[in-house]
Amino acid sequence: NSGQFKKDNRPPNYVPVGTINYTTDGYPKEKIGEPNQWVLKHRKVWEDHHGLIPKGYSIVFLDGDKTNYDISNLACLSKNEIARMNQNHLFTSNADLTKSGIGLTKLTNKIREVEKNG
């Protein structure tokens, strides 16, 4: 059996580092290392520009297009802010309207916090 597995034999579904594939939900992911080290492209773009994403936060697409991972189309929101945005239907396909919705949500959350804590 010493010759059963040949050296440098690659499976037919092998892809090189730097390849972009899509998850079943439509999010682009990029291969960053071997073996099979993948990262969501929008998270990588955000971290390249702003550093690590804090725990409890997610990156959202301002225009709702998961394939538009340009930094100007990304925002970092807390899970609470995302929940409020969804609850109030403030995510739109217009990035400017979504930014306004984010501002409104942050303001509403701050008002609630001040009212609660005095």
pLDDT digits (tens, 9 = 90+) for 29-55: 999 998 889 999 999 999 999 999 999
Residues with Cβ within 8 Å of 34's Cβ and at least 6 positions away in sequence, in order, are 17
Mean pLDDT of the chain: 92
* Complete DSSP assignment for 98-117: HHHHHHHHHHHHHHHHHHHH
Confidence (pTM) = 0.82
